């Protein structure tokens, strides 16, 4: 990645798109490389411009989730960050399972959006805290139906903080652990949830609920 974080913006509302572009253009180490208004243009921008972070709306012309999957597979270095009004958990899971690195609700402040982009550009996960809380609430709701997967108390603590948008370093500071220890626990969580990355560690929960109705998560000893 170059000194500047290259950002692409894909949204079918021109005024909103231009407003986001104007905000990001004022950030010294950001460069808005291209804009588009539909799922097909998201794929084209990803392939042609190779942005570090691609902002995508959920509700726009074309198959957005198919585009997310295609980008994740064909251009894995492009980090997709959903920027949308949709608070639907189904939309969030579809995007995250497709390979999106983050999910942010429109209405977010400029500084918060900038933080989300920086976090995702580093390969970390960022999910709007209010939505992350709902996802994890559902995660806990199914505990009593658990079969076969046990998260320790410490693993649960860490995945909660990660889902709230904290980096490994920030989680380590908050919980009084080393960054290496946080990475170790996250590796365990991803293995238990059959997730390829930290985003999927949350998204996988919903996938298992739908395909294995008796699957839940139990909280064991640290």
Q: 168-204 pLDDT, tens per residue?
A: 899 999 999 999 999 999 888 888 877 777 777 766 6
136 pLDDT band (50/70/90 cuts)?
low
Q: How far is CA 111 from the centre of its chain?
A: 18
Instruction: Out of 108, 126, 144, pick the residue that ends a domain.
Output: 126
Q: Looking at 126, 143, 177, which one is the last position of a domain?
A: 126
Write the CATH number for 172. 1.10.10.10
Indicate whether 151 and 121 sit together in one domain. Answer: no
Same domain, 23 and 121: yes
Q: 153-186 burial, b if ≥16 CB within 10 A, otherwise e? A: ebbbbbbbbbbbbbbbebbbeeeebeeebbeebb
Q: How many CB atoms lie within 10 A of CB 80?
A: 29
Using alpha carbons, list the distances in angstroms from residue 199 to 26, 135, 160, 171. Answer: 29, 12, 12, 15
Distance between CA atoms of 213 and 25, rounded to whole angstroms?
47
Cα separation, 191 vs 138, in Å, equals: 20
Determine the 3-state secondary structure of 218 from DSSP: strand
In a shared domain, residues 176 and 107 = no
Both tokens of residue 162? 């990660």
Provide the CB-side half-sphere exposure for 106 (13 A, CA): 15
What residue numbers bound the domain in which 24 lies?
5-126
| pLDDT score of 90 | 80
Residues 78 and 155 in one domain: no
Which one of 43-52, 120-129, 166-175, 207-216 scores highest in mean pLDDT? 43-52
122 shares its domain with 136? no
Burial of 25: CB neighbours in 10 Å, binned 0-12, 13-18, 19+: exposed
* Dist CA 217 CA 45 (whole Å): 39
* Predicted confidence band of residue 222 (pLDDT cuts 50, 70, 90): very low
Total number of domains constituting the chain: 2
CATH number at residue 15: 3.40.50.2300
Which domain-ending residue is among 93, 126, 159? 126
**Lowest pLDDT segment from 18-27, 53-62, 132-141, 161-170:** 132-141
Average pLDDT over residues 124-135: 81
Kindly report, residue by residue over 68-91, the tens digit of the pLDDT: 999 999 999 999 999 999 888 888
Q: The pTM is what?
A: 0.65
DSSP state of 76: T
Q: What angle do CA 13, 14, 18 make, to 5 degrees?
A: 125
Q: Say if residues 56 and 68 touch (Cβ distance below 8 Å).
A: yes
């Amino acid at each position: 990645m170059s000194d500047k974080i290259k950002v692409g913006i894909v949204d079918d509302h021109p005024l909103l798109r231009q407003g986001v572009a104007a905000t990001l253009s004022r950030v010294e180490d950001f460069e808005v490389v291209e804009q588009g208004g539909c799922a097909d243009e998201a794929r084209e921008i990803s392939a042609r411009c190779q942005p570090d972070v691609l902002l995508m709306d959920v509700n726009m012309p074309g198959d957005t989730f198919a585009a997310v999957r295609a980008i994740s597979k064909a251009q894995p270095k492009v980090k997709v960050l959903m920027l949308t009004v949709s608070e639907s958990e189904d939309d969030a899971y579809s995007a995250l399972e497709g390979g999106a690195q983050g999910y942010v609700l429109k209405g977010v402040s400029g500084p918060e959006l900038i933080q989300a982009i920086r976090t995702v550009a580093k390969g970390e996960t960022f999910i709007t805290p209010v939505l992350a809380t709902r996802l994890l609430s559902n995660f806990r709701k199914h505990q009593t139906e658990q079969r076969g997967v046990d998260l320790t108390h410490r693993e649960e603590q860490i995945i909660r903080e990660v889902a709230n948008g904290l980096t490994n370093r920030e989680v380590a500071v908050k919980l009084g652990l080393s960054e290496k220890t946080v990475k170790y626990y996250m590796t365990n969580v991803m293995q238990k949830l059959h997730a390829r990355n930290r985003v999927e560690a949350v998204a996988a929960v919903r996938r298992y609920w739908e395909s294995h109705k008796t699957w839940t998560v139990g909280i064991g000893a640290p």
